[in-house]
Each structure stands twice: as structure tokens, then as C-alpha cells.
Structure 1
Amino acid sequence: MAMSPGPLLLVFVLGLVLTLPTLAQDDRRYRKFLNEHYDAKPKGRDDRYCESMMKKRGLTSPCKDTNTFIHDTTNNIKAICGRDGSPYEGNLIISNAPFQVTTCKHHGGSQRPPCRYRASKGYRRIVIACENGLPVHLDESVINL
């Protein structure tokens, strides 16, 4: 007995319609993560670097208190969500290896621009949250590991 393609096609299209918004939201959160925390080839890594990058990435209205930039490839960062990460706390994952990072900390009084930042650079394991295999949040409360 042959089945017509009509019901199967309807189920496929319905599944696609329900899945696409979720994938688009994951992609939007991943792009936000990259904007806030990814800089493959930094120039300087000093206070001026932080002030420039924070402004360029739209993180100065109001002045974000702390932000870390990860200096590596997107593939290596994504791999923390899989083979290169370990469960940490709750839904967080910690990288198995250290990454080169620059952490920018706001100093001064006002939370309004112009924002002034102090840079600290080094290597450390990073703690992230992942959704569908993509990093979507960097836990700034875990800085010294």
C-alpha cells in the first residue's frame, strides 16, 4: 500500500517552521556572544585597546563593568561546548585548556560615557554557557582559574 506524500510533506514543513525560529534565536545569541567576547587578533591589549573595543562593540551605554575578550578561533571557542569542555556548575562548561584573554574593567565614577577601562591580559580557562552547541554566555564572575 503506497502512502501519498501529502501528510509526510505537511509534517516536514511543520517541523521546519517550528525549528527555524529556535535556530535563528540561537544564532542571534551566538552572534551577540561573538560581538561581546571574541577578538581573534587583538592590537595592543592595553587600556586603550579596552576603551576602543568596548566603544566599537557597543558596550559603553551604559559603561559595562567587566568584559573579557577571547583571542582564539571561533572553532576553538565553539569546541568548548563539546569535546574541549567539561561540566562546571549548573549549565556552565569550563574549557579544558587556557585561552589568551584580555579582561577590561571599568574604573571611574559614572556609568555614562566616556567610559574608562583598565586592561588585564593573560591566559585562563573560560566558563561559558552553550545552546545547541554554540557559546551564548561568558561567565564573568569566574575570572581567576
Structure 2
Amino acid sequence: MVMVLNLLLLVFMLGLGLTPPTLAQDDSRYKRFLTQHYDAKPSGRNDRYCESMMKTRGLTTPCKDTNTFIHGKKRSIKAICEDKNGSPHGETLRISRSSFQVTTCKHIGGSSRPPCRYRATIGFRHILLACENGLPVHFDESFIHP
């Protein structure tokens, strides 16, 4: 009996040891998404904003062609991954039911090496995300709601 309990305890402990890396991987993809695409309260939202944000967020080695920053609350963006604020779109993506304030930064030519110059476009639009385990992990730049 004691041997069976020890074996069960060992299996349980091994299971606990395997769980955190999976959760950490999911969390790291979500954190990368936030780094690349989230800015709760932007200041300026002009070309200088784009150049500063792209550099600060590590998106200029090489110069990323296009990047969109989503403004608002994290919980509203996360809700797209659920039925609260999102609907399935295609095979693997989800589209927001509500519009979000965004700033899109577009590289305006020249070398793909720094210093990078960007043009800002501001507006509101529905956003298209890929989600894993209830968290956004990818922003689809190709979708622009007219």
C-alpha cells in the first residue's frame, strides 16, 4: 500500500514538473504579442511616436515593414479570444466584434537597417488575432476594415 502511494506521489510530482514549461511558453507568446502590438495609452500617435515605439520595442533590427499598435484595455483584447468580444474568422483566427483604436506604423523606404523611418496612420478598426489557450499570440496585419 505504501509503495502504491509513493508511486502515485512520484507520478503526480513528475506531472507538476512538466506543466510549467508549457504554461510558460504560452505566456511568453502572449508577452511577445503585447510587446509588438499593445500600447494602452499612446502619446502623440504621429511619425515620431512610431519611430520611438518601433525602436523601444525592438522592431528595428532589421526595420520591420509594418506594425500596428492596439490601444485600449488588455482585457478587451483578450476577450476577442473568447465569445465575449470575438468571432471565428477562417480556420484559425478570431475577429473582434468591436473596433479598437490603432496606430499603424509603416516603414517609409530606404535601408532595412537602422535608423528606421516610419509613417503613422491612426484610426479605429476591427482587429484579427490568432489565439492560443485563450490568449492573443498573433496580430494579422493584412486585415483592414473599410
TM-score of Structure 1 vs Structure 2, range by shorter chain: over 0.9
1:26-56, Cα deviation, whole Å (9 max, x unpaired): 1111110000000000000011100010001
TM-score (norm 1): 0.93
TM-score (norm 2): 0.92
Whole-angstrom CA distance in 2 between matches of 1:86 and 1:22: 26
TM-aligned CA deviation for residue 102 of structure 1: 0.4
RMSD: 1.7
- Residue 92 of structure 2 aligns with which residue? 91
TM-aligned CA deviation for residue 101 of structure 1: 0.5
TM-aligned CA deviation for residue 5 of structure 1: 3.4
TM-aligned CA deviation for residue 7 of structure 1: 3.0
Letter in 2 for 1:61: T
Whole-angstrom CA distance in 2 between matches of 1:80 and 1:43: 25
Residue ranges of structure 2 left out of the alignment (5+ in a row): none
TM-aligned CA deviation for residue 73 of structure 1: 1.1
Change (3 A) 1:24 1:60: same
Letter in 2 for 1:6: N
Letter in 2 for 1:53: M
1:1-145 aligned within 5 A: 5-82=5-82, 83-145=84-146
Whole-angstrom CA distance in 1 between matches of 2:10 and 2:85: 39
Identity of aligned residues (%): 69
Helix, strand or coil at the partner of 1:68: strand
Whole-angstrom CA distance in 2 between matches of 1:3 and 1:72: 55
Letter in 2 for 1:74: K
Residue ranges of structure 1 left out of the alignment (5+ in a row): none
Letter in 1 for 2:118: Y
TM-aligned CA deviation for residue 12 of structure 1: 2.0
1:102-124, Cα deviation, whole Å (9 max, x unpaired): 00000112111111111111111
What count of residue pairs does the alignment treat as equivalent? Answer: 145
